[in-house]
Amino acid sequence: MKPWGVRSSVVALVTTSALVITGCSSGRSGHSTDVARPSDPSTTGAGSTGAAPAVDYRAARSSPVMDSYYPQHGVPYLDTLHYGLKLDWQPGTKMLTGVATIALRVTTERTSIRFDLGAPLQVTRATVDGKAVGTSRSGNYLTIRTPELPADSRHTVVIDYSGRPMPVRAPAEREDVQHVGFTTAGGGAAYTFQEPFGAFTWYPVNDQPADKAFYDATLISHDGQRGVFNGQVVSSTAKGSARTTKFHLDQPASSYLTTVAFGDYRHETATGRHGLPINYWYTAGDTASLPLIRKTPQIIAWAEKQLGTYPFASTGVVLVPGNSAMETQTLVTMTNSVRGIGGRDVYRGDYAHELFHSWFGDEVSPTDWKDVWLNESLTMFMQFRYMASHNIPNKYGSWRELQSGRDQLMRDTQGPPGAYRKNDFGDLNVYLSGALMLHNLEKAYGAAKFNVALKGWPATHKYGNASRTDFINYMDKALGSQAGPYIKRWLTAERTPAALAKQS
């Protein structure tokens, strides 16, 4: 998620100065309209109900946990492997009709399983391994009564449902995202921001970051609208006033990294380095944003020189109403309002931030929401580098200003970055404080050694999840024996630790 801005209580400490860090970018690639590069149909073709494709699910095997910050979302005994979603959106009535075909593994013996599913969505039918089963509802939970399911056994659950989705209150004090989940806008358009949760407002899901799964989606749109989902378009056909578009996501994703949008979308494509397909989804009114998002090939090329080859089969952005942005996997969900987000310079920095999440947050995701700093701090550090190398004014202040007072003010008002307040998700402490910690490690160990360590981190848990313990142990080995204790202290200290001394 994008850093949301600077509070008035700390604005006096902010300047537009930034460290000068050398960077470079590639030349611009060409672009065309409505030309999509479908994935290999032999491994990605989704059936009419979104049935699981013929893929190896081992890459989606997860170890879900009971989240320490938001335990009311998700369960630790479900390891979902693949979601096949068929979603029919009626913009006039704002009615969503869905069929979710879910391949899953139960980690313990079960006679019932529970999904998160928004209360406005009513279940009309459910099956387990092809046999009809009973269900019950309680608030935003769906419980399915099952035959006896042995531990570590795999099953297919199909759920038919419909209703008028509603977003829910975010556990945050941010002004740009006060609600999360499926949100409707003018003309029956719809979109979603859903971190740390909210996917359950539009499909049945184990809505926690530690459970990653493959996704295929079949979206049916009406009245001139088009549906948009993560990944690549597999096919798109029109019949009367309805359009059916199928999407495939090439690597497992946590539920908060999925996105869906319906609207009067146009689809434009470009090609990045190594033939990387880039998708732009926008409406006719998004003209101010287009020149900025069309810099995607250059932003990705710059990031690849810092972090290595882009880790997914495609990238891109879907522009939506609202004033925020999310690092949804392979397809950033980005506000269409340049002015609403703070102007061109802020938009440029925040959009780059979301693309950098492809390495930090998407390729490797946190096991528990207490470690959202693993996403945001590393990405914010890269955003500082990018802004400095592209002469973008830095509204967050210099490293010196952060170390000398701003970090302490964030700890006082928002908590340490690794122990933030549960009702203040995504505040600036998990962005800036952790980024400052990384800067201090870079100064202590030298840029060359630090850059190798930073670049190597995502591959240690490629397409999986990691915890702070994993990161601490990795940095201890990659940098030196003082790195781990310093990170551990920095994440939970009530007072800003001093900068780490130069290490030999």
Whichever domain contains 212, its CATH number is 2.60.40.1730
Q: Which residues pair with 419 in a beta bridge?
A: none
Pair 406, 292 in one domain: no
Pair 217, 258 in one domain: yes
Q: What are phi and psi of 267, to 5 degrees?
A: -120, 120
In this prediction, residue 342 carries a pLDDT of 85
**Which range marks the domain in which residue 262 is found?**
41-356
First to last CA, the chain: 36
Pair 338, 435 in one domain: no
In this prediction, residue 5 carries a pLDDT of 59
Q: Is the dihedral of CA 452, 453, 458, 464 positive or negative?
A: positive
What's the Rg (C-alpha) of the chain? Answer: 22
Pair 403, 302 in one domain: no
Query: Does a structural domain hold residue 250?
Result: yes
Query: Does a structural domain hold residue 481?
Result: yes
Write out residues in the chain with pLDDT < 70, as ranges.
4-55
Domain boundary among 332, 356, 380: 356
Query: Does a structural domain hold residue 63?
Result: yes
Query: Does a structural domain hold residue 462?
Result: yes
In this prediction, residue 174 carries a pLDDT of 87
In this prediction, residue 4 carries a pLDDT of 60
CA–CA gap between residue 426 and residue 416 (Å, rounded): 12
Q: Which residues pair with 87 in a beta bridge?
A: 98, 219
- The helix or strand, by DSSP H or E, that contains position 440, with its residue range, turns out to be helix 434-445
Nearest to 438 by CA among 371, 369, 376, 355: 376
Angle at 53 between CA 49 and CA 58, to 5 degrees: 130
pTM, two decimal places: 0.90
CA–CA gap between residue 254 and residue 39 (Å, rounded): 21
Query: Does a structural domain hold residue 418?
Result: yes
Q: Which tokens is 222 given? A: 């009406």
In this prediction, residue 434 carries a pLDDT of 98
Pair 351, 483 in one domain: no
Q: Could you tell me the CATH number of the domain that includes residue 374?
A: 1.10.390.10
Pair 335, 426 in one domain: no
Domain boundary among 327, 356, 385: 356
Pair 178, 238 in one domain: yes
Query: Does a structural domain hold residue 504?
Result: no
Query: Does a structural domain hold residue 1?
Result: no
For the stretch 205-218, pLDDT in tens is 999 999 999 999 99
Pair 305, 382 in one domain: no
Pair 125, 241 in one domain: yes
Query: Does a structural domain hold residue 362?
Result: no
Pair 166, 189 in one domain: yes
Pair 222, 313 in one domain: yes
How many structural domains is the chain composed of? Answer: 2
Domain boundary among 356, 390, 418: 356
Pair 260, 395 in one domain: no
